[in-house]
Chain A
Amino acid sequence: MANMQELYDARLKRVADAVQLIEPDRVPIVPVFQAFPVYYAREKTNVQYTIKDLLEDWNKTADVYDVFYEHFKPDLGWDPILFFPTPYMESSGITWFRWPGKHFDDTMTMYQYIEGDYMKADEYVEATRDLTKFMMNKWIPRSFANLQGMAKIDFRNAMWFGHMGEFAAFSDPEVIETFETLVKTGKVLLDWFTFLGGYQARMKEKFGIPPLYASFAYAPFDMIGDSMRGTTEILMDMYDRPDELLAMLDVVTDNAIADTIAGSQGKAVPYVYWWLHKGVDDFMSNKQFEKFYWPSLRKHILGVIDAGFTPVIYVEGAYNNRLEYLKEIPPKKAVFNFEYTDMATAKKVLGGHSCIAGNVKAFTLSYGSKEDTVNEVKRLIDTCAPGGGYILDTGTMVDDAKVENIEAMFETVETYGRR
């Protein structure tokens, strides 16, 4: 039996070499799997859990991921973190997700995110002036049905004997219920995080696979756009209240840098994954990107690099018009990972500067043939691998792909991706 520590170290080195633009022994493969392990286990083994089962009981995710990692060996692997536990959703009463068992009859569907304006257009100034108070009193009650009592908490006037009035709020039945819910919810999360840590240890011991992430991050513009304002809303805010948006971005960015660094300490790998959404080619001009999206994101990325971590910037959609901006990040300090960006263009612009990753199409993996998959993987390797600085990844999170296509992707990297 192969020495797992050696395999683990070799995989880590393969990825680290790619980041340093050194040509590794073969192209590293680090695909993003979401529900695919469930489909794989159901098709190939007697582990017949549904997605709903895994969301409801994280111990079952371990069974399914074991089956998956017995067969597939990526160079960095996901623990089952994408299976956000239903007990957490139920306990907090989160309003922006829908999940099977509660909202879907279909047990083989993932949770889905519902965008909304959880911050109203006229609340920028209020939120920016005192973000903690705004999050506590407005954003949390709007986002979590079971935490309504947070609206009644305020510590801003505790000086002198203000504390008496403010502490008295904790006798309010709604506040009591909210804090009891928070304690219960916090325990659910701690148990889940402990489980995930345990699974990462298991990945190392049993399969020799390092975890893929130290932590996750979002572009400051997306932090406001995705879960506070909504897509069309924030795009119009660039016209309606540009100064308010920029002022709030400043506050959010500084908090994000501190939070990302704190959350990345003491992990097995230095990779911090950003998930970029609203700065894509389709959604704004380069001029708007330069003013509203990029400065705060660049500051966030540079802050995290300065603290010794390696950002992996995953760009949903396409960045064909934005690639030059990415060169403002120092060379060999980050990985740029693309969903639909043209990889030949990405290689041309970023080759010799930074490692790129991507982007076997979801459509090919779910609807294409084995031959389509092999051809696409070969084409990506031919385009991106020469000279180093390339990691093969799927364009999008993989759910219901054909097993033979996923196998073909791994096999092609193993053979064709060798030096």
Chain B
Amino acid sequence: MDFQELIESVKKGDANTVATLVQQGLDENVDPQSILDDGLLKAMNEIGVKFKNNEVFVPEVLIAARALNAGTAVLKENKVGDNSNSAGKVIIATVSGDLHDIGKNLVKMMMESVGFEVIDLGVDVTADKIVEAVKSSNADIVALSALLTTTMAYQRTVVEALKEAGVRDKVKVMIGGAPTTQAFCDDIGADGYTADAPSAADKARELLA
């Protein structure tokens, strides 16, 4: 298997070729972890850098992530490539009262693309459910999305609930969504805010560094 070809295929978003190359690699007994780290995730990292430099945009990241998923699906079918080398575990949710998930899904995808394992609790998620998920999952990060000025206040509710449950110190809390700001993040005692999805993946790595 040609690693450079695999990397280029992910970057071009060529899902079929990626799946074929990963299968070929497995057939040739290439270390699955290496296929993941030195092929698939390396490609996504390169896409991430290009995104940051405004050389590519969301559509390119989307098709690259889809190609990456085609590759990891082959690894999973063959029951190889577990998450032992995962960059960390993230619980993600759109907060209670808010059903908007475009931003959340983009952040989820960006985080998975750089090697995070993401537990997606969906939309309209209460603080109780988030606390429960933190307790049962040993997650490193809780990422909260809200699109509305009326629901962003609930991000504070979640931070408070984590404190009350005694698990606030176990996780970093990230927030995002159109009306949110760094000032709001500081005010509610969250750990990280970013204005867009790809920087959220960077911020997550930074928070765990």
Contacts and interface: CB of A to CB of B under 8 A. Distances in A.
15 contacts: A98-B99, A112-B99, A231-B102, A232-B62, A232-B105, A239-B59, A284-B58, A363-B181, A363-B183, A363-B184, A366-B149, A366-B179, A367-B149, A396-B178, A399-B148
Given A231-B102, A366-B149, A367-B184, A396 B59 contact: no
Interface string B168-199: 00000000001111011001000000001000
Contacts of A247: none
A116 to B, nearest CB: 11
Interface string B126-158: 000000000000000000000011100000000
Contact of B59 (A112, A114, A236, A362): A236
Contacts, number: 70
Interface in A32-47: 35
A282 B178 contact: no
A400 B149 contact: yes
Nearest to A234: B59
A59 interface: no
Given A109-B150, A112-B99, A284-B58, 12 more contacts: A98-B99, A114-B99, A235-B58, A235-B59, A282-B57, A282-B196, A284-B57, A317-B178, A367-B184, A399-B148, A399-B149, A400-B150
Contacts of B98: 112
A112 B95 CA distance: 14
Given A284-B58, A367-B184, A400-B149, A232 B97 contact: no
Contacts of A112: 98-100
Contacts of A108: 150
A114 B183 CA distance: 29
Nearest to B55: A285
- By size class, the interface of chain A is 20 to 34
List the 5 closest pairs (A to B, CB-CB), nearest first. A366-B149, A235-B59, A112-B99, A285-B57, A362-B179
A205 interface: no
Contacts of A115: 101-102
A366 B58 CA distance: 30
Contacts of A362: 149, 178-179
A283 interface: yes
A366 B179 CA distance: 10
A233 to B, nearest CB: 9
A109 B97 contact: yes
A292 to B, nearest CB: 10
A259 interface: no
Nearest to A238: B59
B57 A283 contact: yes
A106 interface: yes
B184 A235 contact: no
Contacts of A317: 178
B38 to A, nearest CB: 25
Contact of B63 (A98, A236, A284): A236
Interface of A: 35, 98, 104, 106, 108-110, 112, 114-115, 231-232, 235-236, 238-240, 282-285, 288, 317, 361-363, 365-367, 396, 399-401
A366 B99 CA distance: 20
B105 A363 contact: no
A236 B109 CA distance: 14
A363 B179 contact: yes
B51 to A, nearest CB: 10
Nearest to B109: A232
A155 B122 CA distance: 42
Contacts of B57: 282-285, 288
Interface in B60-99: 62-63, 66, 97-99
Contacts of B148: 399
A236 B57 CA distance: 11
Contacts of B56: 285
B39 interface: no
B175 to A, nearest CB: 12
Contact of B180 (A232, A236, A363, A401): A363
B121 interface: no
Contacts of B58: 235, 282-284
A396 B178 CA distance: 10
* Most chain A CB atoms below 10 A, which of B13, B57, B106, B184: B57
B150 to A, nearest CB: 5
A345 to B, nearest CB: 16
A149 B181 CA distance: 47
Given A284-B58, A288-B59, A363 B149 contact: yes
A235 B58 CA distance: 8
Nearest to A51: B150
Contacts of A363: 149, 179-181, 183-184
Nearest to A339: B178
A285 B54 CA distance: 8
A396 B62 contact: no
Contacts of A35: 150
Contacts of A285: 56-57
B179 A239 contact: no
B117 to A, nearest CB: 21
